Amino acid sequence: MKGKDMLLGSVKEALSYNATTFMFYTGAPQNTRRKPISELKVEEAKALMEEHHISLDNLVVHAPYIINLANTIKKETYELAVSFLKTEIERVEAIGASRLVLHPGSHVKAGEEVGLQSIIDGLNEVLSPDQNVKILLETMAGKGSELGTTFEQLAYIIEHVELSDKLGICLDTCHLHDAGYDLTDFDHILDMVDETIGLDRVLAIHINDSKNVQGAHKDRHENIGYGEIGFETLNKIVHNPRLKDVPKILETPYIDGKAPYKEEIEMFENNTFNDTLKQS
């Protein structure tokens, strides 16, 4: 979302990939600078989405990376996270979307228990009964002191947040793989999610291959079919009937400065790996 077209430009870009949904940031993910909603061309974007049958309900917004609700070491970092997440929820609400993906946070050597409680406290501060936006806690790879690397951690957060009906999760295939989960038996993973969290809380999926071996805890995304997960496994995940209505988002690396999303979407539509995608 950039330039003069802003959200309208996001819709145009998604359509250029033949996508039926997309994910966007309300501003740069590394800072708190944001344009007024009036400058985002929201109504024009909605009109173009309706024309091309892209549902506003399926749009995914990603919260900025600078939000860290788990940081108890620096009070100002936690306070910024709470205040900015509140503002971000309001912006997503004003746009009309309802799915906001959030990295749970890193405890910065304070320990898992302390970090999880800090996330719970932060979510209790920002959530309100009348909001339509749901916060989707993303499954993380476990690099550094990241939390949200297991379904049990995510379940613990959800169980202890007062307005838990405002929470869902976002599965990330690269992160799950790097966290140690075996994606070749994805139905077993979905069973685990259902038992610990509830499958109805899976409201978005990031579809990414991984540059690293299973359990590496490194979080380095790779293009579809060119990583350690592989096309066959990812294709089965995309077409899993239990996730039929869940929006699926590609976060794979650009190739020679260009987005590969149109070609990667075609792979999944055709159930065929494109082994020439990364050839110059």
Q: What are phi and psi of 29, to 5 degrees?
A: -70, -15
- The response to whether 138 counts as a known ligand-binding position is yes
Question: Where along the chain do its domains lie?
Answer: 5-270
What does 5-27 look like in DSSP terms, one character per residue? TTHHHHHHHHHHTT-S--EE-SS
Q: What is the pLDDT of residues 183-236, one digit of tens each?
A: 999 999 999 999 999 999 999 999 999 999 999 999 999 999 999 999 999 999
Q: Given this model, what pLDDT does residue 107 score?
A: 97
206 labeled part of a ligand binding site: yes
Helix and strand tally (H, E) in the chain? Answer: 9, 9
Low-confidence ranges of the chain (pLDDT < 50): none
pLDDT on residue 14: 97
Token pair for residue 186?
């994805």
State percent of the chain over pLDDT 70.
Answer: 100
User: 62 labelled as ligand-binding?
Assistant: yes
- The confidence score (pLDDT) of residue 60 equals 98
Q: Is 160 annotated as a binding residue?
A: no
Please tell me what DSSP assigns to residue 212: S
State residue 209's pLDDT score: 98
Residue 175 assigned to a binding site: yes
Q: Is 245 annotated as a binding residue?
A: no
103 is in an annotated binding site: yes
pLDDT recorded at residue 1: 87
Query: Is residue 239 a known part of a binding site?
Result: no
Q: Is 172 annotated as a binding residue?
A: yes
Residue 38 neighbours by CB distance under 10 Å: 8
CB-based contacts of 177: which residues, under 8 Å, 6+ apart? 183, 210, 212, 214, 228, 229
How many Cα neighbours within 13 Å face the side chain of 213? 0
What's residue 90's pLDDT? 96
What CATH class has 5-270?
A: alpha beta
Element (H, E) at 274: none
Pseudo-torsion of CA 178, 205, 152, 176, nearest 10°?
-10
**pLDDT at position 2:** 86
